[in-house]
Amino acid sequence: MPILGLDTSLYPKKPAHFDIERVIRPNILSLHPYRCARDDYSEGILLDANENALGHSIPSPSRVQDPSVALDKELEHTLDMDLHRYPSPTHDPIKNRIAAIRSLPGPEYVFLGVGSDEVIDLLMRVCVAPGKEKIMTTPPTYGMYAVCAQVNDVGLVKVPLESSGAGGEGGESGRFSLRLAEV
């Protein structure tokens, strides 16, 4: 089943045996992409996005009657900002810049998250069936894998790394190796 809203030409090409449609859970594949007002409008008041039609709530120094109430000089520039608006959900300028820096074909190849915790959780929710599938970690590792696995009702298999690298990539001078037979 194709990923709705994603042109198949944007599917990963490497490694050759990788099939993104087999990684994503079927119920996620069948979701229709979410559309927000920002997809259709870039200006005006977007009431369905909970934007304040009256502007932000920081009082202008010229409108404050009480001289003891003063806006910090460092914050005065904020009065000219659109603080009553949500930021762009697509972050196009940032994605375009990252794509250019990394020599990517375009911004559609850039994924942004609010830190690695959010990305780990999202990958688990999209790719791992709760109560049925497991993830594997290689302690010592980042603790959020176990937390997200528990939150998402995903099994967790811990396989310690072998520090010798004997069976790993590059032999003795290479990386760590795993004993997958124990899983």
| Residue 139 falls inside a structural domain | yes
pTM of the model: 0.63
- Tell me what percent of the residues of the chain surpass a pLDDT of 70: 74
For residue 47, the enclosing domain spans 37-80
| Residue 27 falls inside a structural domain | no
Whether the per-residue pLDDT at 132 is higher than 90: the answer is yes
| Residue 149 falls inside a structural domain | yes
Q: Which residue has the higher pLDDT, 50 or 91?
A: 91
The number of domains in the chain is 2
Average pLDDT for residues 143-166, to the nearest whole number?
86
| Residue 168 falls inside a structural domain | yes
| pLDDT at residue 126 in the model | 94
With CA atoms as reference, report the closest residue to 54 among 62, 45, 63. Answer: 45
| Residue 169 falls inside a structural domain | yes
Whether the per-residue pLDDT at 127 is higher than 90: the answer is yes
Q: Which residue has the higher pLDDT, 45 or 108?
A: 108
